[in-house]
Amino acid sequence: MPDTVHLTIDGHGIETAHGATVLEAARAAGAEIPTLCYDPRCAPNGLCRMCVVESQGARLLQAACVTRAVDGMTITTESPRIIRARKTVLEMLAASTDLSETPDALAQIAETGADITRFAGGRVRRPPVIADNPMFVRDYAKCILCWRCVQVCADDAQYAFAINFDGRGFDTRIGTFFDKPLPETSCVFCGQCVGVCPSGALKPLRAWELEQRDSAAP
């Protein structure tokens, strides 16, 4: 098998390592493809679909983070279809969860001109903050369901398996066994989930307490 593959991204011929994804190939070549859920430290799952691109011959948009680059592929990273998908996802997400501490989302909203009030008035996800341990708080009102915390807690890193998903669809949350406080679960407080959280939903207790005090000040 050859070591490299050749593909075209936005009209530029690109050579990339065999097995690389379209996202990796594009970024290595300096092409900008936005992502939200993607973290190179975790197995990619193609959740947020911000990285969708058009691949010649494919009927639907393809998520670049999970699409392997193959020889002869022709990729377009910006088109009206792509922009509509990215913008609409951002607008719907902004109406669902608190993005104030998700810098990637805020930057993409600014860049695409997404109207964060466009889907306002519908259901929002605003569960109360969970402060059940001395190490960190879980503020799932800020959760964007990128799955990174579940993944690093499981076989992407720690093998602690303390958290998983709860519910489904719009009502999906990150949860523990029968909603137990973290100290009563298999959590080892390694802190890796806090480290990979992109949205401020998981935060060291001290930082959260200082923020609370600061915002409560007269």
Partner 1 sequence: MTHPEPRRSQLLPALLAAQATDGWISETAAARIATALGVPLADVHGVISFYDLLRATPGPEIVQHVCVDPACALAGSAALRQQLLAAGAEVHDAPCPGLCNRAPAVLSESRGVFVPPDLAARDLVDGDLRWLTPLCGRGRPATLAEYVASGGMRAFERALREPGQQIIDEVRKGGLAGRGGAGFATAIKWEAVAAAPGPDKYVIVNADESEPGTFKDRILLEQDPWRPLEGALLAAYAVGAKRIYVYIRGEYPLALARIHEAVDILRMAGYTGSNVLGSGFSVEMEVRSGAGAYICGEETALIESIEGKRGFPRLKPPFPVTHGLFGAPTVVNNVETLAGAQALLERGAEAYCAYGTLKSPGPKLFCLSGDIARPGLYEMPFGITLGDLLARAGGVRGNLQAILLGGAAGALVGPEALGTRLSMEDMRAAGLPLGSGVVMVFNTTRDLGEPIRRIARFFAHESCGKCYPCQLGTQRQTEILERAAAGAALPGDRQRLLDVGWTMTDASLCGLGQTAASVTLSALKRWPELFPDA
Choosing from 63, 152, 193, 194, the residue that interacts with partner 1 (CB under 8 A) is 63
Contacts of 23 (CB under 8 A, 6+ apart): 33, 35, 38, 44, 51, 64, 65, 67
Q: How many residues at the interface with partner 1, by CB under 8 A?
A: 48
**How many residues are there in the chain?**
218
Nearer to partner 1, 167 or 204 (CB): 167
Q: Does 61 bind partner 1 (CB under 8 A)?
A: yes
How far apart, in whole angstroms, are the C-alpha atoms of residue 88 and residue 96?
Answer: 12
Among 41, 71, 127, 177, binds partner 1 (CB under 8 A): 177
Coil, strand, or helix at residue 140? helix
Span near partner 1 by CB under 8 A; candidates 11-19, 26-34, 101-109, 170-178: 170-178
Contacts with partner 1 in 82-121 (CB under 8 A)?
Answer: 84-85, 87-89, 92-93, 95-96, 118-119, 121
Smallest distance from partner 1 to CB 101, Å: 18
Contact 23, 6 (CB under 8 A): no
Binding of residue 18 to partner 1 (CB under 8 A): no
Of residues 37, 7, 20, the one with CA closest to residue 150: 37
Member of 10, 78, 132, 166 binding partner 1 (CB under 8 A): 166
Q: Number of C-alpha atoms within 13 angstroms, CB side, residue 195? A: 11
Cα radius of gyration rounded to whole Å, the chain: 19
Question: What does the binding site for partner 1 look like in residue numbers (CB under 8 A)?
Answer: 36, 45-50, 52, 60-61, 63, 66, 68, 81, 84-85, 87-89, 92-93, 95-96, 118-119, 121-123, 145, 154, 161-172, 175-178, 185-186
